[in-house]
């Protein structure tokens, strides 16, 4: 098996956690024993913590290594502004998708990094794929519920869309492997831009969705999600 094929398989493995998480959410909605709102908020918070760990431990550090501050800061701000505009447009149209957008902003740049890393750091790339899978699972669960509860799309349609999104992972990994392994500046710019978008969505949509007055368990879920990312980053170093 060539390294490129291996990169594509690893990215697909990580991406399939999104529809798997969505399937688990669909089964939960069909079950006679439904999760309570506290547990659901905890899962959303866990996904938010995992996203924050991706920003703090992967996207921003790797991007900042490759770019001067005069590029990194404007790109971070541009990412936040761009996805603020997207979020506003979604709100005006009555669509739901903040969690889905944040999940993609995390997954696609990391898939590019996965492909680029496989050229020089194969062991690190394998660990990154495993961490992406673990992050995408709760994010897929929460994103499916957000879209499904809006009532505009049947569950099977959402799952098909999630499968299509998972297929973007190998595409991004291929781009990273072929074009970005020797061009860390462009990869860094993509990562920093995505980090700005994730930060906006975290504080605008995901954290408020996970909050519940006088209940403290969901916030601990965010800490647990960040701890998952920290563990993965420390293992990879």
* Average pLDDT, integer, range 103-114: 90
Q: What is the reported pLDDT for 237?
A: 63
Q: From CA 18, how far away is CA 134, in angstroms rounded? A: 10
Assigned domain for 37 exists: no
Using one digit for the tens of pLDDT, what is the confidence trace for 126-139?
888 888 898 899 88
Domain assignment present for 42: no
Residue 39 counted as domain residue = no
| Angle between helix 122-149 and helix 17-30 axes, rounded to 10 deg | 30
- For residue 201, being part of any structural domain is answered with yes
In a domain, 32, yes or no: no
Evaluate if residue 104 carries a pLDDT over 80: yes
Task: Give the pLDDT of residue 208.
Answer: 84
116: Cβ contacts below 8 Å, ≥ 6 apart: 176, 177, 180, 181, 184, 187
Name the average pLDDT for the chain.
88
Domain-located, residue 65: yes
Q: How many Cα atoms within 13 Å fall on the side-chain side of residue 72? A: 14
Would you state the pLDDT for residue 196? 93
Supply the pLDDT for residue 190: 94
Task: Note down the domain range covering 12.
Answer: 3-26+52-236
Predicted TM-score of the model (pTM): 0.86
Number of domains in the chain: 1
Is 47 domain-assigned?
A: no
What are the Cα distances from residue 155, in Å, to 143, 145, 150, 159, 174? 12, 9, 11, 6, 30
> Per-residue pLDDT tens for 29-62?
877 566 777 888 888 888 889 889 889 988 999 8
43 belongs to a structural domain: no
Per-residue pLDDT, 96? 64
User: Each residue of 216-227: b (16+ CB within 10 Å) or e?
Assistant: eebbebbeebbe
212 contact partners, CB below 8 Å, separation of at least 6: 37, 38, 41, 218
């Amino acid at each position: 098996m060539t390294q490129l094929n291996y990169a594509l398989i690893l990215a697909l493995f990580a991406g399939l956690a999104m529809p798997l998480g969505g399937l688990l959410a669909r089964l939960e909605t069909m079950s006679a024993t439904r999760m309570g709102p506290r547990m659901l908020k905890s899962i959303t918070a866990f996904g938010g913590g995992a996203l924050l760990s991706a920003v703090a431990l992967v996207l921003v550090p790797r991007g900042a290594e490759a770019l001067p501050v005069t590029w990194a800061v404007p790109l971070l701000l541009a990412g936040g502004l761009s996805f603020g505009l997207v979020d506003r447009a979604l709100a005006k149209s009555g669509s739901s998708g903040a969690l889905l957008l944040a999940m993609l902003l995390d997954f696609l740049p990391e898939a590019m990094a996965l492909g680029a890393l496989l050229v020089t750091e194969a062991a690190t790339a394998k660990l990154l794929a495993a961490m992406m899978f673990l992050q995408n699972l709760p994010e897929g669960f929460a994103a499916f519920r957000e879209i499904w509860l809006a009532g505009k799309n049947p569950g099977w349609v959402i799952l098909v869309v999630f499968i299509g999104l998972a297929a973007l992972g190998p595409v991004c990994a291929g781009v990273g492997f072929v074009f970005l392994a020797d061009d860390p500046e462009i990869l860094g710019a993509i990562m920093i831009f995505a980090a700005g978008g994730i930060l906006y969505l975290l504080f605008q949509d995901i954290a408020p969705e996970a909050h519940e007055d006088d209940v403290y368990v969901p916030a601990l879920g965010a800490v647990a999600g960040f701890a998952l990312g920290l563990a993965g980053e420390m293992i990879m170093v």
